[in-house]
A and B are shown apart, each in its own frame.
Chain A
Amino acid sequence: MSRGGRAGGWPRSRLAVVVLAILPRFVSDYRISLLISIFAYVAMATAWSFFSGATRYISLATSAFVGIGVYAVTLSIDRVPLALGLALAALAGFLVALVVGLSTLRLRGVYFVIFTFGLAELIKQLVTWYEVNRNKNLMRLVFADVSNVFLYEVLLAVAVLTVAGSWLAGRTRLGFALRAIGEDETVARHTGVNTTLVKVLVFALTASVIALTGAVLSLRYSYIDPNIAFNSAWSFQVLIMSLLGGGTRLGPAAGGDSARPPLRVPGGHVSPPLRHRARPLLRGHRLLSPRRRGPLARACPRAGRVGRTAA
């Protein structure tokens, strides 16, 4: 099952999408559920990687945008049609990311990374405080009357559009500008790239995809609270997926496969060390064998600079 075609493989990818679209009719509910998660991870990892992979601004604010999307849909689901709620989620993610982007222009490297992490935590704390003090209630119950198949199709669409969109955009001047920023931002600026506009806009756009995806996923939870909505695991998982998958278009998608549930040893329970070791072994294997370079690695090493990254 490929999740997007290679250059020149348009008929093949269109066929793949069609196959995926009608798949729910033939597979069990569980597989649909599994694919829902995979499509969601593919969409998020691809979007995240489109910005962070190219520009090398590693953002750990993913969980903040997921949470914003979740709350946007949670708060609006009883008042407006679902489609509008999802649109609001995307919009909210976009707007917050705009503010974040504009405020972090001076930050680089690991400082940017940890800043985004701190920001996500701050947002979670503030939402929690607001809910506890104004609402006297942290929990929100959402019973969206949507089937698994509906979620499947929506997330498939989001994933396909994100992968296709990032591939296409990557071949335009925008993609070039992003990579230029990643190579050397000062030089990029001097060659006429409006780095501020590019960075902030793309960051905001990818954030809106993440918010939308988070919003759709949350429709199956029933119970929402800030710890669930703003779960920092999202930030780390998306990062790891993108790193594992590599820098190509399919990379984050391939990394998304690592979202599969853990192995089970037949004949009893799975011993946790086996499970826990399976993951790093998997990663270790991929690291120690020749593999495609992650988005953080580029074909051309930074000329002469083995010093700390721009900090």
Chain B
Amino acid sequence: MTMDRRTFLKAGGAAIGVAALPGRARGQAAPSAIRIGYAISLSGPFAPGAQSTSWSQYKLWAKDVNDAGGILLKKYERKVPVELIEYDDRSQPDEVIKLVERLILQDKVDFILPPWGTHMNLAVAPIINKHEYPVIFFTATALRIRELAKRWPYAFFPLAQPDDSAAPLGTMLATLKSQGKIKGRVAAVHVAEQTGVELHSSFVEACKKNGIEVVYSKSYPVGVSDLSPVIREAMQTQPDGFFAFSYPTDTFMLAEQSSVLGFNPAIYYSAVGTPFPAFKAKLGDKVNGVLLWGGLDHKAAGLAEYRQRHRAMYNRDTESGAVGMYATVQVLQQSIERVGEIDRKKIRNEIATGTFPTIFGTLKFKDQLLIDPWTVGQWQNGEVVGVYPAQKPNAQALLFPAEVVRG
């Protein structure tokens, strides 16, 4: 067989090139699996939230990755499958601390995925930082996180923080008031949980700054079974807007009880759990117009296919928080691919500086916090969309007044 000169030179060059490769990469075997561990609440009071937002996404992502052959590690020139190692933290911080230490020190996993809930995440942050494991804590929000991020370079926080989440609500109200569409009087309630407390106080601040009057401001405990007195009282003040900084079961309860009592303010907002299928189940067609915390780019690349895979695996729809969680694992994956090997320090730096296209939009971190996270979303045409920040891709205009027709 003859070979022309160019090809010969190319082949020769390649041979020399391969020979010149650092002996390690050539001779070293790729790991048989990339081991990713996590401790999550599979039982106890946090299990519902943890399951729908975090656990389901870890599983789906691992399946998606392994269906495609694994994560490409350039160093070994091959795709390596992902292996998940999971533990149940039983919704107890004491457990989650021990289990993450076990994953790192005993099981010696390559990467750690976060638990669910601000307090669990903050409990685990010092540990992963100490052992230099980069972790993107999706379900953590607290006013002090900006300052805490400085202590923990390996911890990343993509969720909108309470003050950023409430600010656009204030400006939105101010705009509506200046347009004469509302009088500028709102009612605000919150659940006695840290996130509820912080969102509420941030909101009150935002209102003060924007000349909006908070005519009703109360809190209620977690696990309360009847919120109709609270709704009645709020109704009596005839507010333009009702803002509930609530958590899943009370979010659903408030929706149903407002509907029953005929509470129909021009603006209705509830915080956590509003994007969930269980919320839509309570309001049916009347869900359109309800504002919520977060939001997403409903036309993001890859989102529609992800939705199908999600429904195929779980027999139910996803929700915007879960989409965000999946996207952060995509960030981890892309960082691993870009670095090409299991080098957690390099991967941490990639997460900190890189730009990542995901099903949640393009993500980029600055000072370990996400730049411009979605802060306010809304149910429109039977799906959740993003409204603020208005300059983000596919942000929709505010639907006002809420198209809620209550009988």
Any A–B CB pair closer than 8 Å: yes
Is A141 part of the contact surface with B, judged by Cβ < 8 Å? yes
Are the C-beta atoms of A33 and B101 separated by less than 8 Å? yes
CB contacts (< 8 Å) of B144 on chain A: these are 139, 141
Segment of B120-128, B167-175, B288-296, B305-313 in the binding face = B120-128
Interface string of B129-150 (1 = CB under 8 A from A): 0000000000000101000100
- Identify which of A29, A128, A268, A275 contacts B221 (C-beta below 8 A): A128
CB contacts (< 8 Å) of B83 on chain A: these are 268
- Identify which of A125, A225, A261, A275 contacts B119 (C-beta below 8 A): A225
Are the C-beta atoms of A261 and B99 separated by less than 8 Å? yes
With A138-B194, A139-B142: A217-B122 Cβ-Cβ less than 8 Å? no
Q: Nearest-CB distance from A154 to chain B (Å)?
A: 16
Is A196 part of the contact surface with B, judged by Cβ < 8 Å? no
CB contacts (< 8 Å) of B105 on chain A: these are 28-30
Cα-based distance from A287 to B21 in the complex (angstroms):
63
Q: Nearest-CB distance from B31 to chain A (Å)?
A: 15
Cα-based distance from A203 to B148 in the complex (angstroms):
40
Are the C-beta atoms of B101 and A29 separated by less than 8 Å? yes
Are the C-beta atoms of A133 and B85 separated by less than 8 Å? no
Are the C-beta atoms of B123 and A223 separated by less than 8 Å? yes
CB contacts (< 8 Å) of A227 on chain B: these are 119, 193, 222
Interface string of B80-124 (1 = CB under 8 A from A): 000111111011111101110110111100000000001100110
Are the C-beta atoms of B87 and A262 separated by less than 8 Å? yes
- Identify which of B84, B92, B106, B119 contacts A233 (C-beta below 8 A): B92
Q: Nearest-CB distance from A275 to chain B (Å)?
A: 6
Q: Nearest-CB distance from B196 to chain A (Å)?
A: 9
Q: Nearest-CB distance from A24 to chain B (Å)?
A: 13
Range of interface residues on chain B? 35 or more
With A33-B97, A233-B90: A222-B106 Cβ-Cβ less than 8 Å? no
| Least CB separation from A260: chain B residue | B98
| Least CB separation from B90: chain A residue | A233
Cα-based distance from A233 to B219 in the complex (angstroms):
25
Is A270 part of the contact surface with B, judged by Cβ < 8 Å? yes
Cα-based distance from A125 to B192 in the complex (angstroms):
10
With A29-B105, A222-B122, A227-B222: A136-B197 Cβ-Cβ less than 8 Å? yes
Is A129 part of the contact surface with B, judged by Cβ < 8 Å? yes
Are the C-beta atoms of B98 and A34 separated by less than 8 Å? yes
Is A12 part of the contact surface with B, judged by Cβ < 8 Å? no
CB contacts (< 8 Å) of B91 on chain A: these are 233
Q: Given A137-B194, A233-B92, 17 more contacts at CB 8 Å?
A: A30-B98, A33-B98, A125-B221, A128-B221, A132-B192, A137-B197, A220-B97, A222-B122, A223-B123, A225-B194, A233-B90, A261-B95, A261-B102, A262-B88, A264-B107, A270-B87, A275-B42
22 contacts between A and B (CB under 8 A): A30-B102, A30-B105, A33-B101, A33-B102, A34-B98, A37-B98, A139-B118, A139-B119, A141-B122, A222-B125, A225-B119, A227-B119, A227-B193, A231-B92, A261-B99, A262-B88, A264-B85, A264-B87, A268-B84, A272-B42, A272-B43, A272-B88
Chain A residues with CB under 8 Å of chain B are 28-30, 33-34, 37, 125, 128-129, 132-133, 136-139, 141, 217, 220-223, 225, 227-228, 231, 233, 261-262, 264, 268-270, 272, 275-276
Chain B residues with CB under 8 Å of chain A are 42-44, 83-88, 90-95, 97-99, 101-102, 104-107, 118-119, 122-123, 125-126, 142, 144, 148, 192-194, 197-198, 201, 219, 221-222
